[in-house]
Amino acid sequence: MKAISITIILLTSGCLNLFAQWEPDFRLTNDTAGSSTYSSLGNAKTIAVNGNVIHVVWVDDRDGNNEIYYKCSTDWGQSWGPEIRQTNNSSNSVSPSVAVSGSLVNIVWNDSNGGANTIFYKRSTDGGESWEDAIILTNLAGYSTHPTVAASGAGVYVAWYNYLIPWKNNLIYYKRSTDSGESWSSETLLSAFNEWSILPSLAVSGSAVHIVWQDVNIRSIIYKRSTNGGETWGMSTQLTDYAGGSMRPSISVSGSFIHVAGESFRDGNFEIYYKRSTDGGSNWGADTLLTYNIHEQFCPSISSSGAAVHIVWQDNRDDNYEIYYKRSVDNGTKWEDEMRLTNNSASSYNPSIAVFGTAVNVIWSDTRDTNDEIYYKSNPTGSIIGINNISSEIPDSYSLSQNYPNPFNPNTIIKYSLLADSYTTLKVYNILGNEITTLINQNQNAGIYSVEFDGSNYVSGIYFYKLESGNFTGVKKMIMVK
């Protein structure tokens, strides 16, 4: 596996924040003029990342009707493989979502191929190289639409909304697989019958599954969680309560921190708001306003890794829609200034974001080429990893301590001592000996340090971490249990 080089900011007496450079826009699709490509019109994730492999799905009508297409990169977005057409029928296939767990890639979408709109599922067990046949996940009366998928280990979780009459009694349903998509549970109704519920968003960490959706009747965002892998669910929690309404929520989880972004109509226009829980969803803090201007902001997408939280959205303050970005490096306590990611006279819309380690990856739909195309942008060092310099006192020897806690879920601290100034690397490997991430890759002064490893994007199991500095090499085993 290709080594991952990560830029790390040293934390001493203060905290240094830095926007690393965003790479240029990269055009992922190149259709004939007049065709239309777009990512999900809802808030489901259309980009997923595992290690150096990036997976993207979108809707494309180059074939005379809407079809689902897929593309991946195996080198952190530096180059991309061929497009793979995932659907091939005369009906419309729309609203895709993708999630990855190790080499298992999961795609869902809604399709009228089965009669009324139904949810379809397709998987690859080799990182997107080959694909099995699609299966129908739903068998409900009416229309099932706008699915979202999340994955962790062998667990695959899908949610969508269903209706008999458009804009009346829309219901949120959920389904799960505990064997990597081989078999599926029956549908579970998550919303109440008196709700008008649409646009679900899912996030999972270990055995905790979190979902948010928009309730049109009460103009609010609703949250619900399961603590046993989606087997049973707790009560619904109303997260927002504003007369203008809150909509299109997006959710992400990192350890015990649950992050939710949505748009709310307050003060005469739509703005992006953020809300978080620091205890796994039991309690929620106040809303945080992330944007404030006389124009409108829509379609937020949120992703987190460790203490870094990232949000993108479409924004029309520039007289056309552009993609904007904002980041917090302390689990949403404080937010840095917003940043404009696109700059062209056409429209950039429907962004989706995925973070892995320090790398931030964004896709969106764009009309700069006279027809709609999918564009990609990345920041390889957009998340700051903190190294705590515990002491600058020179230790008696080099050492690598056992991580704590161990076993862990999903975060743990690794402590080490350096006898002399030297170039230092700290890498993590899986049970097969494949390198999965590089935590440190830089010159360091003599002293005692600690660094956090976030395993939220990895499966349960045995891992090894290896420290190399000067002539010293140390290896320890750690166990992640989700």
pLDDT digits (tens, 9 = 90+) for 454-469: 887 788 999 999 999 9
Superfamily of domain 386-480: Macroglobulin (MG2) domain (2.60.40.1930)
pLDDT at 165 over 90: no
pLDDT at 299 over 80: yes
Of the chain, the percentage scoring pLDDT greater than 90 comes to 61
Query: Which residue would you say has higher pLDDT here, 33 or 342?
Result: 342
Q: Where are the alpha helices (DSSP H) in 67-193?
A: none
3-state secondary structure of 86: coil
Instruction: Name beta bridge partners: 99.
Output: 106
Banded pLDDT at 185 (limits 50, 70, 90): very high
Residue 330 is given by DSSP the state S
Instruction: Name beta bridge partners: 46.
Output: none
pLDDT at 444 over 60: yes
Mean pLDDT, residues 117-142: 94
Residues 19-379, CATH architecture = 6 Propeller (2.120)
Residue 1 is given by DSSP the state -
Instruction: Judge if pTM exceeds 0.85.
Output: no
> Which range (17-31, 340-354, 412-426) has the least confidence?
17-31
Biggest distance spanned by C-alpha atoms of the chain: 73
Residue 40's pLDDT is 67
Residue 217 is given by DSSP the state T
Mean pLDDT, residues 113-135: 90
Residue 249's pLDDT is 97
Mean pLDDT, residues 129-139: 95
Q: Which long-range contacts (CB under 8 A, 24 or more apart) does 262-269 make?
A: 262/212, 262/214, 262/221, 262/300, 263/297, 263/298, 263/299, 263/300, 263/313, 264/240, 266/242, 269/293, 269/294, 269/295, 269/296
Query: Which residue would you say has higher pLDDT here, 206 or 393?
Result: 206
Alpha carbon dihedral 35, 39, 42, 48, in 10-degree steps, equals: 160
Residue 18's pLDDT is 35
Query: Which residue would you say has higher pLDDT here, 437 or 6?
Result: 437
Residue 121's nearest CA partner among 104, 103, 109 is: 109
Tokens of 91: 């009906």
The length of the chain in residues reads 482
Mean pLDDT, residues 130-145: 93
> Which range (28-37, 169-178, 209-218, 332-341) has the least confidence?
28-37
Q: Are 237 and 250 within 8 A, CB to CB?
A: no
Mean pLDDT, residues 314-333: 92
Mean pLDDT, residues 445-453: 87
pLDDT in tens, 4-50: 333 333 333 232 333 447 899 999 998 776 677 777 666 789 999 99
Banded pLDDT at 291 (limits 50, 70, 90): very high
- The CA distance from 434 to 463, in Å, is 10
Every domain of the chain with CATH number 2.120.10.10 lies at: 19-379
Of the chain, the percentage scoring pLDDT greater than 70 comes to 91
Mean pLDDT, residues 286-309: 91
Q: Are 106 and 181 within 8 A, CB to CB?
A: yes
Every domain of the chain with CATH number 2.60.40.1930 lies at: 386-480
Which residue is listed with tokens 């109509």?
265
Q: What is the mean pLDDT of the chain?
A: 88
Residue 383's pLDDT is 67
- The CA distance from 180 to 169, in Å, is 32
Query: Which residue would you say has higher pLDDT here, 241 or 104?
Result: 104
142: left (phi over 0), alpha (psi -120 to 50) or beta: left
- The CA distance from 427 to 410, in Å, is 17
Which residue is listed with tokens 């190294």?
387
Whether residue 166 has a cis bond before it, omega within 30° of 0: no
Banded pLDDT at 385 (limits 50, 70, 90): low
Residue 414's pLDDT is 94
Q: Are 117 and 111 within 8 A, CB to CB?
A: yes
- The CA distance from 397 to 401, in Å, is 12
